[in-house]
Structure 1
Amino acid sequence: MNILVTGTAGFIGYHLTKKLLNEGHTVYGADNINDYYEVSLKYDRLADTGIQKEEIEWFKWVQSTTYDAYKFLRIDLSDKERTAQMFEDFKFDLVIHLAAQAGVRYSLINPQAYIDSNIMAFTNMLEGCKNHDIKKLVYASSSSVYGLNSKVPFSEEDRVDEPISLYAATKKSNELMAHTYTHLYGIQTVGLRFFTVYGPWGRPDMAPMIFSKAVMKNDTIKVFNNGNQSRDFTYIRDIVNGIEKVSVQKIDGTNLVFNIGNGKPVNLLHFIETLESEFNTVIDKDFVEAQPGDVTTTYADTSKLVKYTNYKAQTSIQEGISQFVKWYKEYYGN
């Protein structure tokens, strides 16, 4: 298939691109390479897929030197005209929209970035699918839509009308917008509520990278909510396997939303202890209060995704952290 994947300089998009290419699909990647975190990591991800930094210019398709079936475009997807032109350039069979402004805490500082990247850009993607008769759109939602939901595990049937961060509000808005376009134009939309994705090439603003950097620099880490929180840490390989299943397989239904997680929440302190074991060290910890927008527990009920696709997360926290630390040492130096 000819597949448009947005966010291919990002963590999940990079891994998904490699998987799809290795399975024989043609991939057209798009990303704005913004500076929310260090762009060097984004350029290195792109380089690993054969997209060379010196070739990248705004709104110029770059051919991969590693994969004949991969082209990349630097584009701001909130730009209505250029996004429309991107859809004109090639005939896409499927759109997987992962590009977004990520981060709960950053949404407290720069709310406009979330409106531009998560609302305006998503509108342009929906319009592109509508105007070019693309029948399937898979897009990134987030477990943050569950807010302060006290019922666990989180189910897609739970009420999600009380987001506690602007980031979560934009992701819930995406689900509502997708529902509307499905109803009006017959596009099959599939939203994926990701649960704390981690692994090699991960985001520097996420806990595994923050903690590992502290190990390397012998720094102190802040442990929010005094460590009284759990996350459904999901290894990147399991995530991209799930995305590939809902994208490439034929699944029944029109407007679908799935949890995609490990289904086994891990206490933050246990996560830190496992990381310490892999680094063979003890990290100095500063226990602090919870930050605005943070939730205490995330826990995915993945039974719906299992029913539709036979998805199953298979990576234990021990294996996942081991693979992550191995990559981190190689990339950043030990």
Structure 2
Amino acid sequence: MFDVVTGGAGFIGSHLVDTLVARGDRVVVIDSLAAGHEETIVGHLKSGRARLVKADLLSDGWQDALKGADRVYHLAADPDVRQSAMTPDPTFRNNIVATYRVLEAMRVHAVPELVFTSTSTVYGNATVIPTPEYYAPFEPVSVYGASKLACEALISAYCHSFGMRSWQFRFANIIGSRSGHGVITDFVRKLKENPKELEILGNGKQTKSYLEVRECIRAVEFAIAHAKQPVNTFNIGSEDWIDVVAIADIVTDAMGLKNVHYRFTGGELGWVGDVPKMQLSVERLKALGWQPELGSRESVRIAAQAAVQGQ
């Protein structure tokens, strides 16, 4: 199997590359290294099991790396929900335009399969929780969520127009080692700067689902093996949720801190485009035989330990 992974030196991408290499696939990683880090895959590069093409998807020259590929895993994206409310253009270009360019390269080189990492934010403030894949209407409240929904539509059109097959995964909050952003990383950074006080955005009651990254990759690969429609869309997350204050408690405990004062910025939302309550239904994936092995609390605990240890 010959796989191309865009964003393969990033957080989720590097864990995916670990899995693909471990099962014996030939892997090409396309990554600009603007957010990814070569050291996350350096062992695979040195062994010759993976090759890195350092390139921005908005530039040219990387497209020929797709020649002969069996499948593209398209993970490269601008994931910053908060920043997309302030400067939307990078989100539009790095998500929508870049995805279009990947699809065009696949069409030109006749690559038959695409795996795309989407997001729970396509649902916006869903009124049905846990939220199933068939929930409607889609009303994203962030530019990031809107960009991912647009990408899903483009992918569906290309699959039906050009005989491709895709798997689109709407992720809950995926956390764990190598993560460079998110609430856990933010808390660890803030507490290292001031171990006596922790600023918490919003009122701390935001309640969401979290899943450890390796459990996420396991779910992705399970779905690919068991779903074979032209367009296959799945939620991936845990079957429970946890609020921000509980996450703060887990992080402070992992850092060995006591009597930390929590200072709230106030309001229901942590930032513009925040979704205060999110839990995805994973019944569609469970119907194929997948079972989640971790919940939100245990996923947060694993991720907090990794963040504290600098992993």
Q: TM-score, normalised by structure 2?
A: 0.92
Q: Does 1:270 align with 2:246?
A: yes
Q: Does 1:124 align with 2:104?
A: no
What is the alpha-carbon distance in structure 1 between the residues aligned to residue 170 and residue 32 of structure 2? Answer: 22
Extract unaligned runs of 5+ from structure 2.
Answer: none
Cα-Cα RMSD: 1.9
* Displacement after TM superposition at 1:15 (Å): 0.8
What is the alpha-carbon distance in structure 1 between the residues aligned to residue 295 and residue 255 of structure 2? Answer: 17
Runs of 4+ in 1 over 4 A off after TM superposition: none
Letter aligned with residue 178 of structure 2: W
Q: Does 1:64 align with 2:45?
A: yes
The percentage of aligned residue pairs carrying the same residue is 24
Which residue of 108, 126, 146 corresponds with 1:169?
146
CA 1:160–1:72: 2 relative to 1, 3 Å: farther
Which residue of 38, 41, 48 corresponds with 1:49?
41
Q: Aligned ranges for residues 139-288 of structure 1 at < 5 Å?
A: 139-204=116-181, 206-218=182-194, 220-247=197-224, 249-281=225-257, 282-287=259-264, 288=266
Letter aligned with residue 77 of structure 1: L
In structure 1, the residue matched to 2:285 is: 305
What is the alpha-carbon distance in structure 2 between the residues aligned to residue 274 and residue 116 of structure 1? Answer: 36
In structure 1, the residue matched to 2:14 is: 14
What number of residue pairs does the alignment pair up?
306
Q: Does 1:74 align with 2:35?
A: no
Secondary structure in 2 aligned to 1:240? helix
What is the alpha-carbon distance in structure 2 between the residues aligned to residue 96 and residue 140 of structure 1? Answer: 8
* Displacement after TM superposition at 1:223 (Å): 2.2
In structure 2, the residue matched to 1:327 is: 306
What is the alpha-carbon distance in structure 1 between the residues aligned to residue 173 and residue 203 of structure 2? Answer: 19
* Displacement after TM superposition at 1:160 (Å): 4.2
In structure 2, the residue matched to 1:94 is: 71
In structure 2, the residue matched to 1:3 is: 3
* Displacement after TM superposition at 1:172 (Å): 0.5
CA 1:16–1:279: 2 relative to 1, 3 Å: same
Letter aligned with residue 215 of structure 1: L
Deviations 1:50-98 (A, max 9, x none): 26xxxxxxxxxxx811x3210011111122x32433324xx11111100
* Displacement after TM superposition at 1:255 (Å): 1.2
What is the alpha-carbon distance in structure 2 between the residues aligned to residue 328 and residue 32 of structure 1? Answer: 24
Letter aligned with residue 113 of structure 1: P
What is the alpha-carbon distance in structure 1 between the residues aligned to residue 156 and residue 310 of structure 2? Answer: 41
* Displacement after TM superposition at 1:318 (Å): 4.5
Secondary structure in 2 aligned to 1:300? coil
Is the contact made by 2:190 and 2:199 (CA closer than 8 Å) also made in structure 1? no
Is the contact made by 1:182 and 1:254 (CA closer than 8 Å) also made in structure 2? yes
Is the contact made by 2:241 and 2:279 (CA closer than 8 Å) also made in structure 1? yes
